[in-house]
Amino acid sequence: AQTVTQSQPEMSVQEAETVTLSCTYDTSESDYYLFWYKQPPSRQMILVIRQEAYKQQNATENRFSVNFQKAAKSFSLKISDSQLGDAAMYFCAYSSGSRLTFGEGTQLTVNP
Amino acid sequence: SAVISQKPSRDICQRGTSLTIQCQVDSQVTMMFWYRQQPGQSLTLIATANQGSEATYESGFVIDKFPISRPNLTFSTLTVSNMSPEDSSIYLCSVAKVNYGYTFGSGTRLTVV
């Protein structure tokens, strides 16, 4: 079964600084998708970024980028120029076509 | 991407009663997913609901406790039956759209007293 592991239960960053959230996963599939979701206190799940496993190029979305290392099964999220609104729980997730499997989450605090 | 309307947003229920949660999608989707998020934890898949067939439940979840309906391609309901305080959680529905990934409803915060 696929598993997703986030080893950092909590992280903090100063406003305007850069922070990296870690995620590793385990799968025997060759074709799959990886996601980072943000869940603020409103509990809405917001898609931050996604990566197709067949693409070698790392995905980027404005201040958010990933470091996808397929061989190492690693998928970290880098947030640049952190803003107060980035404070939330961040979940890494895996899908091979239907269901999503989530990691345990990382609570990100942004300090002014 | 799809837009999902989930109701109710929150409820406080007496133990032993049932609550039905509704999700309406603004476009047709093949699969809808129901998740539970217990306090301070990650999301756990309850079941996958396909239109016209029985829902597929994950290990640890049974139809008698979490009956699901999927009458058409834009709507689904999840019922939490015979509730106990252990059922207090956030329940979320989700759909998958090609090229957009997964979209979630706004969640239902359930408290059982």
What pLDDT digit, counting tens, does each position of B22-78 carry? 999 999 998 899 999 999 999 999 999 988 788 999 999 999 999 999 999 999 999
Name chain B contacts of A95, Cβ cutoff 8 Å.
Answer: 96, 102
Question: Integer distance in angstroms from the first to the last C-alpha of chain A?
Answer: 41
- In this prediction, residue B53 carries a pLDDT of 81
3-state secondary structure A14-50: ECCCCEEECCEEECCCCCCEEEEEEECCCCCCEEEEE
- CB-CB contact of B90 with B109 (8 Å): yes
Question: Are B48 and A99 within 8 A, CB to CB?
Answer: yes
Q: Using the predicted structure, report yes or no on whether residue B84 has a pLDDT greater than 70.
A: yes
Q: Which residue of chain B is at minimal alpha-carbon distance from A5?
A: B42
Residue in chain B lying closest to A90 (CA): B42
Q: How many CB pairs under 8 A join A and B?
A: 48
Higher-confidence position of A41 and B98: A41
Instruction: Give the pLDDT score at A12.
Output: 97
What is the structure's pLDDT at B100? 64
Instruction: Say whether B96 and A102 touch across the interface (CB within 8 A).
Output: no
B1 pLDDT exceeds 80?
no
Average pLDDT along chain A, 112 residues, taken 10 residues at a time: 93 98 94 94 92 92 96 97 97 89 97 96
pLDDT at site B98: 67
Which residue of B30, B35, B43 is the best one to mutate when testing the A interface, meaning the one whose CB has the most A CBs within 10 A? B43
Do the chains contact at A98 and B103, CB–CB below 8 Å?
Answer: no
Joined together, the tokens standing for residue A42 give: 């409103």
